[in-house]
Amino acid sequence: MTTANQAHRVPESPNPEAIFRIATGFMAAKHLFAANQLGMFEALADAPATLDALAARCGLTTRATRISADAMTALGLLEREGDAYRNGPVAATFLSGRTPADLRPLLRFWDKVSYPTWENLSSVLSTGTSQDLSKVSGEIQELAQAGIAAATAGPLRALVTTLDLSDRRRLLDIGGGNGSWSIGLAGANPHLRATVLDLPTVTPIATQMIGKAGLADRVTARAGNALRDQLPTGHDVCLVANLIHYFGPEDNRTLLANARAAVEPGGRLLIADFWTDRTHTQPLMAALMAGEFAAHEKHGDVYSVEEGQAWMAETGWRFTSHQPLVGPFSLVVAEAV
């Protein structure tokens, strides 16, 4: 039976709060980028500080420091007790520069390289124009490689700690960027040798990173195009990390076919990327990152595990497993048939 109150209940009006939260996201992002650029988190790495002391450490006016510090406090990255500010646990771990888990390079990359391209996302989606990171060099390429390495450091650590490569001897790191994945895997597997294959604009950065890691005797960087060139042979495991999303389906089939031609039957394929569900909406971060990939590559996109399985079946690989890494990253594993 319907009561009088129920009969006259007025439906709740839609609340625009979600629109405001999403639309002002750029403000939160730019506040974070600015605080990172101004060294606010490093300034609080060793001890809390009052507003005046923090301003002195950052070389800013008191007003500018208050605006930035209060925004970071509102966003949960700084904490305030009385007149003193301090890093919260997340900022202390990822933004202070005091731990190996350093996301400051990623924020610099997003601020200086990604953000300007996102300003024209509507044009990117309507016309297909993009900023191709594979064709830039110098400071921009260094920013990109450092940012990408920071973004993938967590997934790499997860891979290093869970992946068994005891039966593998030679790793081909296709599109290996600055070599961080090969460096991590070779460091954890003293028997493993690796070749980092990437474009000529990137290989000097990889060579430098490999040398700094003290692994030049087991890890080498080689210039090449994974879509156009014959890949080097003699490897028994191929790694494709953070690369599939830069290409369209046809190029990804070409990439996997070239990788298959480079290994003998039984060779292993590891693809770490932003794999999604069938709808391309989960994980959420992967769905959002599709815009980033479109902005930096004409055919960039995110793909479902099922799409990846189909490409593998068409190019001589047998899908064996799919497992999570960290955040939106997951790993697809296949074997050469």
pLDDT over threshold 90, residue 295: no
Q: Is residue 119 part of a domain?
A: yes
- Residue 116 CB neighbours (<10 A): 11
Question: Do 60 and 179 reside in the same domain of the chain?
Answer: no
Question: Do 134 and 241 reside in the same domain of the chain?
Answer: yes
Question: Do 74 and 181 reside in the same domain of the chain?
Answer: no
DSSP 26-76: HHHHHHHHHHHHTTHHHHTSSS-EEHHHHHHHHT--HHHHHHHHHHHHHTT
Q: Is residue 299 part of a domain?
A: yes
Question: Do 178 and 255 reside in the same domain of the chain?
Answer: yes
Residue 274 and residue 331 in contact, taking contact as beta carbons nearer than 8 Å:
no
Average pLDDT over residues 236-261: 96
Question: Do 52 and 166 reside in the same domain of the chain?
Answer: no
Q: Is residue 9 part of a domain?
A: no
Question: Do 313 and 239 reside in the same domain of the chain?
Answer: yes
Q: State both tokens at 232.
A: 């080097």
Q: Which of 1-10, 33-42, 125-134, 163-172 has the lowest mean pLDDT?
A: 1-10
| pTM of the predicted protein model | 0.85
| Nearby residues of 16 by Cβ (< 8 Å), 6 or more positions away | none
User: What is the predicted pLDDT for the residue at 127?
Assistant: 81
Question: Residue 82 belongs to a domain with what CATH number?
Answer: 1.10.10.10
Where does the pLDDT of residue 24 fall: very low under 50, low under 70, confident under 90, or very high at 90 and above?
Answer: very high
Q: Is residue 2 part of a domain?
A: no
The range of the structural domain enclosing residue 243 comes to 115-336
Average pLDDT over residues 154-163: 94
Q: Is residue 1 part of a domain?
A: no
Question: Do 168 and 223 reside in the same domain of the chain?
Answer: yes
Number of helices (H), then strands (E), in the chain: 17, 10
pLDDT over threshold 90, residue 128: no
Question: Do 171 and 299 reside in the same domain of the chain?
Answer: yes
- Domains in the chain, number: 2
Identify the residue whose tokens are 């601020």.
111
| Nearby residues of 270 by Cβ (< 8 Å), 6 or more positions away | 159, 163, 237, 238, 239, 240, 241, 331, 332, 333
Q: Give CA separation, 242 vs 39, 71, 92, 246, 289, in Å.
A: 29, 32, 27, 8, 12
Q: Is residue 134 part of a domain?
A: yes
Q: Is residue 104 part of a domain?
A: no
CA-closest candidate to residue 140, choices 161, 164, 116, 158:
116
User: What is the predicted pLDDT for the residue at 124?
Assistant: 83
Cα end-to-end span (Å), the chain: 66
Task: Kindly give the residue spans of alpha helices, DSSP state H, lying in the chain.
Answer: 4-7, 17-23, 25-37, 40-43, 51-58, 62-74, 89-94, 104-109, 115-118, 121-127, 138-151, 153-162, 180-188, 203-212, 249-261, 284-296, 305-314
pLDDT over threshold 60, residue 248: yes
Question: Do 84 and 122 reside in the same domain of the chain?
Answer: no
Q: Is residue 215 part of a domain?
A: yes
